[in-house]
Chain A
Amino acid sequence: MRALVRNRVVRRVAGTVGTLFGVAVFVFVMLRAIPGNQITANLGTEAAALTPAQQQALERYYGLDQPLVTQFFSWLGNMFTGNFGYSARAQQSVLDLTLQSLPVTFELAVFSIVLALLIGVPLGMLAASRTNSVRDAAGQVVSLAGLSIPAFLLATTLLTVFAASFGFNPNGQGFVPFFADPLLNLQQMLLPSLVLGFGIAAPILRTTRTAVLEVRSNDFVRTARAKGVPERRLQVRHVLGNALVPIVTMTGLQFGYLLGGAVVVEQIFSVPGIGRQVLLGIQQKEYAVVQSTVLVIALAFVIVNLLTDVLYRIIDPRVRAS
């Protein structure tokens, strides 16, 4: 039995490694599809003025004289040793950039998820408490709004309204990391995580509603009620407790999406997260930055999904037992 479980974990991990290799190939090929190379990206039209010798020297410098397969494996090998490339714009290595931006996005994602859970779970339970009632309709409206209002529209509107009406624009003065000034940092995180949290609250609300409705129709809920379990305890311990599995799965999935999907909100509020690092790389034509950063995001995304999987195995007694 134990061997079987271990085997399943081993297979899951092996599959993940295979997928990540595929991701690396995909990212590499995708960026090679861009016309031109690092030399033309750096020099622009001036690249045409290079002498053949200069051209050759530069190709050698960037490793462009090597076959593509060699280029790919040397990039991948370098990633393993922590050499992610260098950003001329930031005058920093991509590893350093990533080590600064990944925690920022992580912090933003955590706040957004917490807000989304605070909005989505209670509203979902409320909506499920009486189907087709006013509160159910209210829940539907909130989730429809969350699904339909683009983050960039909400972010732009909030930023303008708060800055103009209340003079509140903590993001206007350059980003401050949490450990430098926690209070200012939290203010800077407030609006971006509200925007993202509102959007994510919608799927969480819907999942909660469906899951609660499904659990409530089970016999054990009737039994619990019949033996006199207080209503509040019944709702939280018996119903919500059992509805947690889909909610956790949805939360994990959304958390993963935020790692790269927060890019629009990061850009609007000037939050130097990892999504913005990709966007800047694209805008500056720094493909080394884009290539390595996208791979890091995919890695983080896959790890989050793996952890979600593990987490729901821990939460769900049925999966735990088998």
Chain B
Amino acid sequence: MKDKYILKKDHLLPLLRKLKKKHRLIAPLQNLHGDTLFTEIDQLDNVRLDLANQPQNSLKRFFFPQQEVLFTYRNPTSDSYRFETAAEERPPSLYFGVRPCDLSAVLYMDVVFSKNARDPHYLHRRQNTILVGLNCNAPFANCFCNATRNGPFIDFGFDLQLTDLGDRFLVEFDRSQGQEIIREWQQFFAAADETDVKAQYQAFLEARGRFSQQVHLDLAARRLADDQVPESVWQDLSMRCQDCGGCAYICPTCTCFTIRDRQTGDHEGERIRSWDACTFSGFTRMAGDHNPVDRQMRGIEKRFRHKLQFDMEKDNRPSCVGCGRCVNICFGGTDIVLFIKMTCGENP
């Protein structure tokens, strides 16, 4: 079959070893505590690559760190205020085992950080990046990427994409860097045949049928756009939201940030950028404590409208990728799935 290859599972580690020679390698690893996290791999031999569980983190922080220094400044006398940018070395990086939700989130971030202005810090990290994806044969308990329409399988945006076929992976490429890897390391790849492609399609059909919850995102989005969400829904959500920001931090597409100065000496400091959450009451507060948004009541509404209404109107798709991480993290019971169910009149 044209442009479809087979990588035997026995060949995966040898291939990664080769790729690691030229690239910083980041993949889902299980740590001592049993947590699966995207982690930069130091020694491939000493790690537990985990392709069975959903990584608890997304790729967000690798391109857009929770906190970063934009530049440093010095001000030894009042007429000598100076700004200096520190250059960060960024070797080519390969992200392996990226699920369709997290891949879609990176594609979304690419737009956020380049559409209105080109963000040099994000783009610098994003350049020289190879994304090797893994389709989801078995969606996890809180997943709803079928509703956000970016999974469980994806057919664009990756350099290489893997589908688990038991003893082997079916491999596809969408970008030239992926094609280049197949060409350079052809000893690991064989041409796929019709059986392999049929097996992939079968895996896709089975995966599609395995979502444990039905999330009517389109209906909720329509009701939001038509202002048909009952006020009682907003009231319930606002009352229960504990304002922890966990949903925004764990979310692979939440990219709001704040910028502030951190004084590091009598006459010097750093300008810091860090993640922010639009649900925080300080998010829109201006000097003099004037706040144009009632965050207590409206913060969570702003968040859901951005993801399910405003981005939907702009791009005809929500900026929620259905990864379900916020469902796990929300102890207030105000996550996006619950909101969608409340809005659709379902008993959550």
Query: Do A and B belong to a common assembly?
Result: no
Interface residues of A (CB under 8 A from B): none
